Amino acid sequence: MDLINALSNLAHGNVVIEIGMILIFATILAFIVRLFKQPLTPAYILAGLIMGPLGLGLIKDPESIKALSEFGIAFLLFAVGLEINIKKLKDIGLVASLGGLIQVVIMYFLGFAISLRLGFSNFEAIILGIVLAFSSTMIVIKLLSDSEQLDTLHGRIVLGILLVQDLLIIIVLSLLATAENFSPILVLFALSKGAILFIVAYLASKFVFPKLFAFAARSKELLFLTSLTILFIFAIFAHYLSFSVAIGAFVSGVALANLPYHFDIIGKVNPLKSFFATLFFVSLGMQLTTISSEFMIRILWLVLAIVIVKPILIYLTVSLFGYEKRTAFFSGLSLGQVSEFALILIVMPFVVGAISQEVFSTIILLTIITMILTSYLLEFQYSIYLFFSPALTFIEKILPVKKRMILEYHPRGKKIDVLLIGKHRMGSIFYSTLKKLRKKVMVLDNNPDVIKELLNDKIACAYGNMANREVLDKIKVKPLKTVISTVPNTRDNLFLVRYMKNKNQKINMIVTANHVHQAKRLYAAGADYVILPHIISGEKVASMLKKSTRNKKYFKNTKSKNMKHLDLN
C-alpha cells in the first residue's frame, strides 16, 4: 500500500510520469495477453481500470485523464482519416450512403425505444439512441488494418458506412451544440459551419496539398512535420467553428488520404498512432467509475443491442443491396460497437450537465465492453461465420434480392495446375512466370480490384480468404499440382497446408512467412517450401553482385527490366 501511495504521489501533476506509468502498465499487460494469444486492445483498457479510480488509484486527476483521451482520439482519428481512400469506395457508394443512413436511423429509434423501456429519461434515451446508432471508425480500421482486410470487399463497405456515419455524427454534434437555444437559424448556422469545414478540406486537398506535399516529400522530416501541421491547423479550425478538435483531425486525415504520398505519411505516422492508441485505450479504462447493480442489468441489455441487433441490421441492409452472405456477415460483425464520438458527445456542456454520473459511466462502459468484444469477434470471425453459415444460406435464399456480380470465374473443362493465392506484388511476378511456363493458373485474392481485372481478362479466379473453408471447397483440389501462397499470415497458411494436404497428399505446398520460427511451424505442418522474402532477397542480391563483376552493364540492364515491371518508364 505504501508503494502504491508513493507512486500515486509521484505521478500526481506530472504528465510525463503519468504517461510513463501508463506505458509501463500497458506493456506488462500486453506481454501477458500475448502469451495467451489474445488481442492487445483489452490489455490496454484493463491497464486503465487497474490504474484508475476503480483500481489502484495511481492516477487520480480526471482532467489530466480527459486531456490524454481527447489528444489520443484526435491523433488516432487523423490516422484513421489517412486510411480512407475515397476513390476506392466509389463501387460501394450506394450501400455506404443509403445503406449507412438507413442503418443509423433504424438503430437510433431502436436504441431510443430500448432505453425508454429500461427506465432512462427522455433526454438520456435520446443520447443513448445516438450512442447505439454509430460505430467506431478508429477501432474498426485499426483491427481491419492489423488483419490486412481494408482492401477486401467487406472492408470497403465497412469503410464507406463508417465514413457516412462520421459525416452524420458531425451533423448530430452540430445540432446538439445548438440544442440549449434551439432555433432553425442556429441549426442552419451549425450545419453551415460543418459544410465550411469539409469544403475547405476538399479545396485544400485539390488545389493546395498536392503542390505543398510535392515539395515536402523531398525530405522525410519535412513530410512528417507538414503532415502534423495540417493536422493541428484543421484541429484549431474545427475548434474555432465550435467542433471537437478530434473532428478536425479526422477531416485533415481524409483530406490527405488521396495524395500520392499518403502511404509515406501513414508510414511516418504509424508509430505515433500506436503510441496514442495505447494512451487512448488506457485513459478509456481510467474514466470508469462505480456503477450500481441495477445499471449493470441495463448495460447488459444495451450491450446485446449493440453486438447482436446492430450487426444483424447491417447484415440485412448489406444483403438487401445485393451482396453475398459472407460479405454482408463480415460487414455486420465489424460494426458491432460504440463509436469513439460517444466520448465526445457526453462531455459536451449541454449533455454532461443533463445526464447522471451513472449514465455517463454507462456510456463509458458500453464503449469499453463493445470495443473489447469487437476485438475478439474479428479475431475469430471465420469460425463464427462457419457456425452461422447454414442459417445465412437459408436467409440468402428467401431474401427477394438479385445478387450482384459474382466475383469468381471457373472456365469450363479447364483443369487448373496451380492455385496462386495473392496476386499483388510478389504474386504478380509468380503469375507472369507461371504463364510463361504455360501453366494453367487460378488466382485466389481478397482484393476485389484484382479479381475484377482477372474477370475482364477471362482468367480463372475467385474472391475470398484462403482460411475460409467455404471458399476452398469450391476449388477442385485433386487436379492441382501446386499451391502458392504469397500471404505471410502463419495461422492462415497453417490452415491452408493442412486443408490441402488432407485433400491431396501429393500437392506441392509453397507458402510465405516473415520469420524463421514461423517457417519451422509451416514445415512441421507439411509445407514443401516456405518463402522467406528477406533471405531470398539477400541471396538474390548476392548473386547479382557476382554477375556484376563479370558484366559491367548487368545492373543497368536489370534496372531497365525492373522499371518496366513496375511501370516506371
| Per-residue pLDDT reduced to its tens digit, 322-368 | 888 888 999 999 999 998 778 777 767 677 777 887 888 888 888 88
Burial of 146 (0-12, 13-18, 19+ CB in 10 A): middle
pTM of the model: 0.77
Sorting pLDDT into bands at 50, 70 and 90, what band is 14?
A: low
218 vs 200, higher pLDDT: 200
Whole-angstrom distance, CA of residue 231 vs CA of residue 249: 5
| Per-residue pLDDT reduced to its tens digit, 152-165 | 888 889 988 988 88
Whole-angstrom distance, CA of residue 515 vs CA of residue 519: 6
331 vs 194, higher pLDDT: 331
Residue 265 has pLDDT above 90, yes or no: no
Domains along the chain with CATH numbers: 2-398 (1.20.1530.20), 408-531 (3.40.50.720)
507 vs 53, higher pLDDT: 507
Whole-angstrom distance, CA of residue 142 vs CA of residue 135: 13
Q: Report DSSP state, residue 467.
A: T
H or E segment to which residue 260 belongs: none
Whole-angstrom distance, CA of residue 501 vs CA of residue 526: 7
Asked which of 7-11, 18-22, 531-535 is least confident by mean pLDDT, the reply is: 7-11
Burial of 200 (0-12, 13-18, 19+ CB in 10 A): middle
Q: Report DSSP state, residue 205.
A: I
- For 483, the 3-state DSSP assignment is strand
Whole-angstrom distance, CA of residue 409 vs CA of residue 431: 17
Residue 277 has pLDDT above 80, yes or no: no
CA angle 174, 343, 30 (to 5 degrees): 145
Fill in the amino acid letter for 521.
R
pLDDT at residue number 233: 93
Q: Report DSSP state, residue 53.
A: T
Residue from 424, 264, 244, 452 nearest 344 by CA? 244
- For 421, the 3-state DSSP assignment is strand
Exposure b/e, 13-28, CB count within 10 A at least 16 = b: eeeeebbebbbebbee
CB 358 within 8 A of CB 295: yes
pLDDT at residue number 569: 47
pLDDT at residue number 455: 86
| Locus of grid cell 502511404 | 263
